[in-house]
Every structure is written in C-alpha cells, then in structure tokens.
Chain A
C-alpha cells in the first residue's frame, strides 16, 4: 500500500480528480477561495493566463490587484500593453502598486501589440505582463505561450467573453461575471479537474483597509470601502 502511495505521489503521475502540479512557483492571488482551486495555489508563472470578463469594469483588475502589488513591492516590473482605458495613477497607488515599476505601452495595431507582448515576455525583465490584444488567433496564442514558458513572468491576456468558446493553449482561463454584487469567477480551464461551480468573491474580501492599531501590513484598497449608501436628498433638484 505504501508503495502505491509512493508511486502515486510521483510528479509525472496525475490523477483526473486532482489539481495538476506546476513547474514554476505560483503567485498567490490574495483570495484564499480562489487560491485553493488553482494548481500551485495561485496565478501560474511561466504560463499564459486568460481573463474573460463578461462586461468591462466588473473587477478584472481588482482580482489581480494583490498579486500586482506584491510583485511591484518586490521590485518586479509590471508591463501594461495596449490597455483599453488609461490606468489611473492615483487609484493604482492606492491599490498598493508601486508606480515606479510600471510600464505603459501603447500600440497602434494588433500586430504591434503582439510584438510588444512577446518582447516583454522574452526580455525576462517583467514580473507581470498584462495585455489587451484586440484579436488573437491560435498560432499567436501558442507563440505567446512558448514565450511565457521561458520567462518567470505572470502573463495575463484580457479577452472578450466570446473567446470562451475558442480553443486556447493558455494554462488557466477564467471567465468573470457579476452575481448579486459579487464577482463570480468561472474556471474555464485549469491544469486539473473541471470545476463546474463558479467561485464567488466578495469585493469586500479585497479591501484590507488599515485600521489604527491593526497589524495588517498590506493596504489593498483596490476597491474602496464604500460609505453607506448615500444619495443626497437634493440630487434631483440640482
């Protein structure tokens, strides 16, 4: 029996109901509920991750916030390639991201975007590469996946929700949606068994505001603690 257990613990053997092993160390996401479902317990390094938000601005950056803050605090560079809007400096800083480690790259065509992503991955200089490719097909994804394997970077592609139906060589694919004010994370693909239920993350779990006398060293106010719902009485009359 012990021989069997020993055999089954061999890294080359993967059982269908278990999470896959990872070669490179993963980066904790900052959400324990999400970490337990990811192989390696976090965002995979040296592998491509795809995030497919159902709508724009539902929390696709917030979910990466703790990882980005921790990478930049360790002096790793963060490259943002072809973001759809302007990443807002005061908010990034409030989220704990060191702006001195941020690189913003604007491109003029999808080809330039892919070129810039590949350069950033191959350069071995970045801790995280976040990219918003306009359109990307299997051969290009495959090329990026290979470029990622040589680096230690966290490589995240943001893609539209319709890409969920397409095949992709990415190691991890997450679809994001909202559910009663929470963020519902559906794992479309991971190295391991299929997960059929979505993981619900409360935006509140992201907020670790530093209270006086608290021992929390990290202040991840990515999503600001909202005051109680206030709608001033005079708003309609303004």
Chain B
C-alpha cells in the first residue's frame, strides 16, 4: 500500500502514510502465538513441528483416512485459523521442506510423488530460501531468480561460491537429504491470551475475541482426547484490577459451540468495570473425554445431554448458586432439615411426620388474640398438633417449639408453631409463628 514494502524504513513509511499505525515487533508474543496454534493443530496429527518464527509443519499422511482426505484437512485448518484470527498460506508436499518452501512462496498446491517436487518448486523465487541478503543479491546479480535457475547451476560451483547451506534446504526439499525435525509437545494445561487493539467496553463485542481463544482451546482438547469442566476467562483492564469469570460445565466437554454459548451468557450478565484491553483464557483441569459416537438413527431427545446444557446455561447467566437441587437433612429443626445440592445430586431419606410443601425461609410472627393465633384475615383454626420440636441447644440456635397444622379463613392450610415461653432464651422469642404452607 502506498509504496510501503518489506524493508522500508519506519521514517519513510511514516512519510508515505502519515496515518500509519505502527508498533514494534514482539518476538515473545509471536512465539507464544505459534505455540498456541501448534497446540490447536495437534488435533490433525500428533506430529506437529513449529518452524519459527511463523511456520508450522504437520505430518498428515497418517491422518488422511481418519479425517477424510487432504481436502477436508486443509479446509478445517483454514477455517480454524480464520476463527483464531490468523491469515494462512498453506501448501502440501511429500517432504516437509518442499511444503515449507511452497507455503513461503504463497503457492497453494497439493501434490504427491517425488518426481513432481522439482517441477513444483522450480518457479519459486530464491528469496524463499533462508539465506543472507548478500547471497540473495549475488544470485540476483548473476540472473538467478527462481529456484529452478539455482537448481540448473552446476552443484559443485554453487556450493563453493555460496556455501553448502544454500543447497541443503533444496536437497531436503527434493528428498535427497534426510530431515530430522523436533515435534511439538502440548503443555499440560491450557492458557492463551489475546491483546485487544482498542479498549472494548461492550460485552457483546468481547465475544469475538473470546471465540478465537475458545477455538484454540477446543483444538487443544481434541488433540488430547480431553474435555474440561471448568475454565477461567480473565478480562484485563488498564487501571483497575482484572475481571475474572469462572465458568463451569455440568459435564466435561470440548465443544467450542457449547463453550461459546456459556461465555456469551456469562458476558451478558457481567458489567465491565473499565474497557477491556486484553483477554486470557485458562483451563487447569484437563479431563479425559472419549469422543461421542454418532448414531445411525438420531434420537429425538438426548435427555442427559440436553439437561447438562440447560443447567450450564442457567448457571452461567443466573450464577452458580441460583441453580440447585434439594436434599433432606437429618435434623429436627425444620429450617435446617433441608440443604441445597448440586443439580441432580438430591435425594436421601424421607421423614414420616406431615410437613408443608412450602417453607418460609424465616418464620413470620403472627398476632395472638385470646391465646389464639391470628393472621391479618382472622383467627387460625388448629387442626392437628402439637408436635414438639426441641433441638439445637448445642449450636446457639435453640428451637423449643410446638407445631400445629391450622386452617386459615381463606381455606389454606398452614404450618405454625408456638415458641415455648419457659425457654425464653430461645432464638425465636415467644408467641406464634407461621413457618409453612401446605400448598
């Protein structure tokens, strides 16, 4: 654009385009990004070899049958890279070096067979070789523009003049020299970060960078045949402390779509303290998760899966503590005879005495007229009782009560108790209280 080329100095570039937005190159960030993409790419093959600073070599021959052919693999790689926000130049060849040279030359080609390599790499410009600028200039001066030109020069003369390091990559590409590569090993825990170019204030906009990170996470998990049940999304701000969102799943998963829905619900319920400038996604606990079998005749309802997704969505939006199950507890005091559990983990032993279906979280005091309990609507008629409950002297919440079932004027059945006077030290004080409704 506007005559700015690789190698142009910053001053010249700024003079050509005054509105140029430039930043220094960050090799550490580039290496980290390459590592993340390598971890993601391990879902296609276990043999992933990074070619720093910006190359990645995948040995896919063993995966062709599993993943449905080279066309499908290339499509998946391109789509995934786009989702993660990277632009890609892909090439595929029988040797790693040939694929690398082709990709550097920007030629998207797929071919097989040793004999075709020479033909395929010949048109590539010599700059795709990693050699010093002086050698490139000399080559250009003697009229060598393409790799084909270089290959047609006498070998011994070229080696004497430019050194063996110019010929070695070509020999490796042609399969004449063996090539030893170091393969990438995925880290035991996942962590990826992203810098946002401008501070983002809207939670909805944050979903796009989050999706990039989630795509990486899904690839990382697929490569390890693993899933996660909990992950952390940290939103970094400039001046105020970071916002950390802990997101849990009901069952382990590695489905990017499912994770994205949870993040969307969570972001929608989050108020941002300040503009977000960076984002970090971390998953510490990686759980083994076998792949799902496809079904020949799809089941209309996948109850267990639907259920897990529902619980996740609800707790992502409403909060973990707003969604729970119930279980009884072995305890005499009614307000403590239940407990909240994780959804689906309820159950236990039932009690035999009559209990109301609705319990008031705090007993409501009732008026007393002529020693009889009254509500606002009138007196309560006692139907059954008393059931004496006296418990809890040991934990400071002493309850000394006589429980009755009563009928209100409107016909509703209520569960009331009278706090017993002789134990005035009891928490309730004295008098009548409404604690439940037999709805």
Residues of A within 8 A of B (CB): 54-62, 75, 77, 79, 83-95, 98-108, 112, 115-116, 119-120, 123-126, 152, 177-179, 181, 221-227, 229-232, 235-236, 238
Contacts and interface: CB of A to CB of B under 8 A. Distances in A.
Contact of A88 (B338, B420, B421): B338
Contacts of A92: 326, 357
Given A93-B350, A99-B348, A112 B318 contact: yes
A222 B438 CA distance: 9
B275 interface: no
Contact of A119 (B313, B360, B371): B313
Interface residues of B, number: 64
Interface in B322-344: 322-329, 334, 337-340, 343-344
Contacts of A108: 318, 322
B346 interface: yes
B186 to A, nearest CB: 34
27 contacts: A58-B410, A58-B412, A61-B357, A62-B357, A62-B438, A77-B307, A85-B358, A88-B338, A88-B358, A94-B350, A100-B344, A102-B325, A102-B326, A103-B323, A103-B324, A103-B344, A104-B323, A108-B318, A116-B318, A119-B310, A125-B306, A125-B310, A178-B410, A181-B407, A227-B384, A229-B383, A235-B371
A92 B334 CA distance: 14
A77 B304 CA distance: 10
Contacts of B340: 104
Given A61-B439, A89-B327, A226-B354, A107 B338 contact: no
A2 to B, nearest CB: 38
Interface of A is mostly: loop
A80 to B, nearest CB: 9
Interface of B is mostly: mixed
A104 B326 contact: yes
B386 A89 contact: no
Interface string B299-313: 001010011011101
A7 B199 CA distance: 70
B359 A124 contact: no
Given A99-B327, A124-B303, 14 more contacts: A56-B439, A85-B360, A88-B436, A94-B350, A100-B345, A103-B343, A120-B314, A125-B309, A178-B411, A224-B354, A229-B383, A235-B371, A235-B382, A238-B421
A94 B410 CA distance: 25
B318 A106 contact: yes
Contact of B338 (A58, A89, A116, A235): A89
The 6 lowest CB-CB distance pairs between A and B, nearest first, are: A178-B411, A224-B354, A57-B437, A99-B346, A125-B306, A85-B358
